[in-house]
Amino acid sequence: MTTNRHDKPTKSRELQIFQYLHPRMKLATEEKQHLDYLYKGYLGELEFYNRLQQTELKNHLILYDLLLPSNHTEFQIDSLLIWQTRIFLFEVKNFEGEFYLEQDNWYVALTGKEIKNPLLQLRRSEFLLRQLLQKWGHDIPIEPYIIFIHPEFTLYQAPQNLPIILPTQLNRFLKKLHASTPVITRKQKRVVDQFIVHHKEQSAYEQLPQYEYDKLKKGIICPSCTGFLKPFTYKKMICETCGRQENIESSVMRSVKEFALLFPHRKITTSRIHEWCETIYSKKTIQKILATHLTPAGEKRYTFYLPKKEIITINNPD
């Protein structure tokens, strides 16, 4: 039983860990760039999702963010639209600025720097997806597309037959798709379930920074920015940077969720979370919140708490 239905984009585990670490430690330049890259990609997927939500396609079978096994490797899919007769594979790119194509190579117009040809990744995903579908006994044709979602993306010298949708073409493309969408059948729903069942939570190719509990800055991170919260009233916290207020209970539980994802092998105890949150003075408050939201385990004197699965998989909307 999985809690993630893949009905909207979610942050990858890798992105979440990076975002939790960023305010708590100094990231190297490349690590910061990687975080920006992951976050920008996520925002692009969210934008594509929002565009689909504005059309009637939102009521059809669309899956987001799948990480699928394939022989000895894995592949990641941004979005799938599943019909009985066809599967649309969407790879969303949030590139910004001007690019040009020369033969099969892609370049940034401003600098002339070559970038990785995104069509190669699309071809790979298409190939692995076809293999997987065949393995599951489905003979459904795949129609792959790269969706360039950023309004300021321009591509020069692109041949017309490439499987790419430019920002200015997206509306028409979605309208056309919607106009020909067939009714949903039971077979389609079965295919959807198969994708969800085979989804992997953790990629073998995460590029995470090295981090240690003792060296991380403690405290409660603001849900709106990268600032830290401090006590405001006896029930509320306030952000030192942006002024956002939050009640203590949700502040603590967000921090527990961070702790559980960053340190899956450490026990969640009142003392530990008290230390992790740092700015909540009363241990009793922490203990009460943990007892409300988590399942206690262990001997009474050494009570620790087991996170329910949702705590680790809930996604923040921003």
Chain contacts with Zn ion (rule: CB under 5 A): 222, 224-225, 227, 239, 241-242, 244
Nearer to Zn ion, 65 or 258 (CB): 258
Nearer to Zn ion, 144 or 219 (CB): 219
Considering the complex, what minimum distance in angstroms separates the CB of residue 251 from Zn ion?
A: 12
Question: Which strand (E) or helix (H) includes residue 19?
Answer: helix 13-21
State whether residue 152 is helix, strand or coil: coil
Return the closest-CA partner of residue 78 out of 126, 112, 127: 126
Integer CA distances (angstroms), 135 to 89, 143, 189, 191, in order = 18, 18, 17, 12
Considering the complex, what minimum distance in angstroms separates the CB of residue 254 from Zn ion?
A: 13
Pairing type for strands 304-306 and 268-269 reads antiparallel
Considering the complex, what minimum distance in angstroms separates the CB of residue 230 from Zn ion?
A: 11
Please name every residue paired with 306 in a beta bridge, in sequence order, or none if there are none: 295
Nearer to Zn ion, 240 or 310 (CB): 240
Nearer to Zn ion, 4 or 279 (CB): 279
Residue 91, token pair as written in the block: 């790879």
Considering the complex, what minimum distance in angstroms separates the CB of residue 221 from Zn ion?
A: 8
Considering the complex, what minimum distance in angstroms separates the CB of residue 131 from Zn ion?
A: 46
Residue 163, token pair as written in the block: 């499987």
Nearer to Zn ion, 222 or 311 (CB): 222
> What sign does the CA torsion over 208, 213, 217, 223 have?
positive
Considering the complex, what minimum distance in angstroms separates the CB of residue 231 from Zn ion?
A: 15
CB environment 46-84: b (16+ within 10 A), e (fewer): bbbbebbeeeebeebbbbbbbbbebeeeebebbbbbbbe
Nearer to Zn ion, 209 or 223 (CB): 223
Return the closest-CA partner of residue 220 out of 178, 189, 191, 248: 248
Considering the complex, what minimum distance in angstroms separates the CB of residue 224 from Zn ion?
A: 5
Nearer to Zn ion, 225 or 261 (CB): 225
